[in-house]
Amino acid sequence: MKNLEIKNNYTKIGGWLYLLCFLMIFVSPIRSVLLVYTEFKETSPYFKSFKGLETYVYLECLSAVFLMTISIWAGISLVLIKPHAVKLTKLYLFLILINGVFFQNILPYFAGLEEDFIKGMEYQMKVNTTSSILIFGIWFTYLSVSERVKQTYQNSENSNLKQGKNKIDLNKIRLLVDKAKNLYATKINPKINNLSSDEIIITSIILATLIALFFGCIFGETNHFDYYGNRVNGDEYMYKEFHFNYLLGTTSFIIFGGIIYLYLNRKNNKNEQ
């Protein structure tokens, strides 16, 4: 009875949700504003001196403003317990991941920065990538497994559906989604539900290893050396060595391995009940 009473009391934000809302409404936007201001102020005098720098700064500032807008919108939606607030927040986290893992690493090349200039940015690019993976992994997992989140926003969506709001004609998208759901329900889901505890662990390790290898190789570094073993840039080299990004690979393995294990274990527990 006590457990039921606790679950029924999850009708407003509390606990870790307070921290998430505070980060999204205040900390993330303030950080974005400071980033845009300081980066533009410090780099604008050198726009004409470095090829592609102006394009790079403008594009990065635009991405920061875009993410700031989504962050505030999603944070306020969580505070007001709006329907689909959790989906919007998860979308924001996916954008954070895409921005840190792909956009921030492709942008310097797209903007046309010189190779030597990009090499000086490599450490910060790796830090941004790692932090985006951590942010995504921690908060996406929390939103997916938290009982408070599930109860609070499930009640909100149910009440909204009863009132007949948010009716959007998306027949084509719904048809594709239904087909995907049917495929998942008939082919994939039964196999997932019947996994033993050992199979869940092995599957989590295998998938996490593949993901870790992907990120570690994609964001690894190739060093070029001359005949005497000195590191050189450009095409004038005798041999080259590829260095796997162990920091990103290990981080990806831990985070995605944990997410996959929690997901499979949760599905298995529901099936047993």
- pLDDT, tens digit, for every residue of 40-82? 888 888 888 888 888 888 888 889 989 999 999 999 999 988 8
Nearest to 110 by CA among 62, 67, 170: 62
pLDDT of residue 7: 46
Nearest to 121 by CA among 107, 140, 138: 107
**What secondary structure letter does DSSP report for 52?**
T
Q: Residue type for 117, please? A: F
Q: Which residue has the higher pLDDT, 171 or 86?
A: 86
Three-state secondary-structure class, residue 4: helix
Give phi and psi for 247, each to the nearest 5. Answer: -60, -50
CB 56 within 8 Å of CB 111: yes
d(CA 97, CA 249): 15
- pLDDT, tens digit, for every residue of 171-197? 666 677 777 767 666 766 677 777 788
Rg of the chain (C-alpha set) = 23
Q: Which residue has the tokens 């457990």?
A: 3
d(CA 119, CA 121): 5
Residue 97, token pair as written in the block: 């991941």
User: Which sign does the torsion angle of CA 30, 36, 39, 42 carry?
Assistant: negative
pLDDT of residue 10: 65
Q: Which region holds residue 233: left if phi is over 0, alpha if psi is between -120 and 50, else beta? A: beta
The stretch 137-164 carries a mean pLDDT of: 74
Residue 123, token pair as written in the block: 């450490």
Q: Determine the longest span between alpha carbons in the chain, in angstroms.
A: 76
Assessment of whether the complete model's pTM goes beyond 0.95? no
- pLDDT, tens digit, for every residue of 223-261? 766 666 677 765 666 666 777 778 878 888 888 888 888
